[in-house]
């Protein structure tokens, strides 16, 4: 299957700071990238969908000003958690797809906000 990487794999930050997570498709071009969040012992929840060169579409209840998504190229999307607070601590996972083809997921980023 296709490979998606995420960086960093884990990050610890202080409350009030911003954190950027990168998602890269390594061996395919992703016209669409998706960002998910997973709390302990729960399933993945879709946060937003982004198409290359367009603004992201956010799911209901996800604050677009808090979770900034940029999909500037066909191989890179970034998620910035602005003014992070302890309740933002979670496992963030991205995925990429060419059009409506199969989605391939990254390994995830563990965010801990102190």
Partner 1 sequence: DAKTTQPPSMDCAEGRAANLPCNHSTISGNEYVYWYRQIHSQGPQYIIHGLKNNETNEMASLIITEDRKSSTLILPHATLRDTAVYYCIVRGSQGNLIFGKGTKLSVKP
Cβ 43 to partner 1 shortest distance, Å: 5
Structure tokens given for 22: 């990168």
Binding interface with partner 1 (CB under 8 A): 1, 4, 6, 32, 34, 36, 43-46, 49, 91, 93, 95, 97, 99-100, 102-108, 110
CA 86 and chain centroid, separation = 18
5 or 17: CB nearest partner 1: 5
- Kindly state the smallest distance separating residue 3's Cβ from partner 1, in Å: 11
By C-beta, is 37 or 88 nearer to partner 1? 37
Which lies closer to partner 1 via its Cβ, residue 62 or residue 82?
A: 62
3-state SS track over 4-73: EEEECCEEEECCCCCEEEEEEECCCCCCEEEEEEECCCCCCEEEEEEECCCCCEECCCCCCCCEEEEEEE
- The nearest distance, CB 19 to partner 1, in angstroms, is 18
3-state secondary structure of 108: coil
């Amino acid at each position: 299957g296709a490979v998606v990487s995420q960086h960093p794999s884990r990050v610890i930050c202080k409350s009030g700071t911003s954190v950027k997570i990168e998602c890269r498709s390594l061996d395919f071009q992703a016209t669409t990238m998706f960002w998910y969040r997973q709390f302990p012992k729960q399933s993945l929840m879709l946060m937003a969908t982004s198409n290359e060169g367009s603004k992201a579409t956010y799911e209901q209840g996800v604050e677009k000003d808090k979770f900034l998504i940029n999909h500037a190229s066909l191989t890179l999307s970034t998620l910035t958690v602005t003014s992070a607070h302890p309740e933002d601590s979670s496992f963030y996972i991205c995925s990429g797809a060419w059009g409506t083809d199969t989605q391939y997921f990254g390994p995830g980023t563990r965010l801990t906000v102190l």
